[in-house]
Amino acid sequence: MSQCVDIHAHFFPPGLVEDLRSGDAIDGMRIEERDGQTWVVHRQGPNYPLSPELYDLDARLALMDKKGIDVAAVSLSPTLLFYWLDQAEASDWARKVNDEIQVLVEQAGGRVAGVAHLPMQTPAGAVAEARRAKEQLGLRAVQLAPTILDTPLDDPDYVEVLSALDQMKLPMMLHPYFVGAGNRPGLDRYYLTNLVGHPYQTAVGATRLIMSGILDEYPELQPILVHGGGYLPYQVGRLDHGHAVRPEARNCQEKPSTYLSRFLYDTLAHSPQALQYLIGLVGADRVAYGTDFPYDMGGGSFEEQLFNVELEEHKKSAIRGENAKRTLRL
């Protein structure tokens, strides 16, 4: 059986955990003890349990073993992107994060692949850190939010970053976030910032990469979409129709659905019917197993996620690990 690779797992720097426990954490973060469990609290309001699997290697490997995961591509928890820090602090934070991810990779003995964080406050700094992450630290991809605060990735400010990732052939994971960016209208209750907001952000960010012509301009850019691609795969027909009837929707050279094959999608759709549709739409070679490890909105083992999905074994093998290995060059 082929290796099982989780392309969507998260990381909390152990150094930050120490700072939280000493009361000296970045951006005013703090911890609280609730019913015997440690919770992280952001000054903006969001809070969540500090699972040992986020920062403790032994706990991480034990959970990976339980889920049958051989290798995990590990990216910074999106709650820690901190795009509102000043330039100097943002650059320092990115270096610390990426250094700690590299240590995790070394200590994990081949079971972790690193995904770098970039200080997007300064595009030149982001490019320099991406180059350091790849060439000096051996990290395999970068993680970016679909928007940097209120500025989308297709903005001219970020052309330098996208061009560099294209030239370096460094995959770009798009991961939504809300901490520090404020709640969107209508998403302030019922946990909708995550339940609805995250797939919405992903769909908007990916659509802008398509409709702006970015994917035409940078043919080696390799975006990875988490949470099953958000809403993009399920409304792409509407984009095609708009491209056909609206002149302002024709910045891309081909109809939007043509570009679906430029993305790699994780399996985290939380629905076998939706996952079956996604695989049928984009092909089994464009889908990779992902868990959102270890958060409560994550998914189960590979077998659990694909239990009711009808696929030939060679396609399951590709989704189980081969597609992620090809994309991340493992």
- 3-state SS of 107-138 is HCCCCEEEEEECCCCCHHHHHHHHHHHHHCCC
| Per-residue tokens: 120 | 């997007």
Q: How far is CA 308 from the centre of its chain?
A: 25
Q: What's the Cα-to-Cα distance from 174 to each of 29, 132, 147, 203, 217, rounded to whole Å?
A: 24, 20, 9, 10, 18
Q: Which of 283, 243, 227 is nearest to 260 (CA)?
A: 283
Parallel, antiparallel, or unpaired for β 30-34 and 112-117? unpaired
Give yes or no for a contact between 139 and 97, defined as CB atoms under 8 angstroms apart. Answer: no
Could you read off the pLDDT of 80-117 as tens digits, one per residue? 999 999 999 999 999 999 999 999 999 999 999 999 99
Tens digit of each residue's pLDDT (9 = 90 or more) over 72-90: 999 999 999 999 999 999 9
pLDDT at 187: 85
**Band of pLDDT at residue 180, cut at 50, 70 and 90:** low
- What's the pLDDT tens digit per position in 16-52? 999 999 999 999 999 999 988 999 999 988 888 999 9
Structure confidence at residue 321 (pLDDT): 97
pTM for the whole structure? 0.95
Q: What is the pLDDT of residues 225-239, one digit of tens each?
A: 999 999 999 999 999
What pLDDT sits at residue 182? 53
The fold adopted by the segment(s) 5-12+52-328 is TIM Barrel (3.20.20)
Rounded mean pLDDT, 283-294? 96
User: Whole-angstrom distance between the N-terminal and C-terminal Cα of the chain?
Assistant: 17
Q: Is 313 helix (H, G, I), strand (E, B) or coil?
A: helix
DSSP 154: T
Q: How many angstroms separate the CA atoms of 25 and 29, rounded?
A: 6
Using DSSP, state whether 296 is helix, strand or coil.
Answer: coil
pLDDT on residue 96: 97
Task: Decide if 268 contacts 299 (C-beta within 8 A).
Answer: yes
**pLDDT attached to residue 46:** 83
Q: Can you tell me whether residue 182 is helix, strand or coil? A: coil
User: CB neighbours of 105 closer than 8 A, spacing ≥ 6?
Assistant: 74, 112, 113, 114, 138, 139
For a pLDDT cut of 90, what percent of the chain falls above it?
A: 88
- Count Cα neighbours of 297 within 13 Å in the Cβ-side half-sphere: 15
3-state secondary structure of 193: helix
pLDDT tens sequence across 114-148: 999 999 999 999 999 999 999 999 999 999 999 99
> pLDDT class for 183, splitting at 50, 70, 90?
low
Quote the pLDDT of residue 137: 98
User: What was the pLDDT predicted at 188?
Assistant: 82
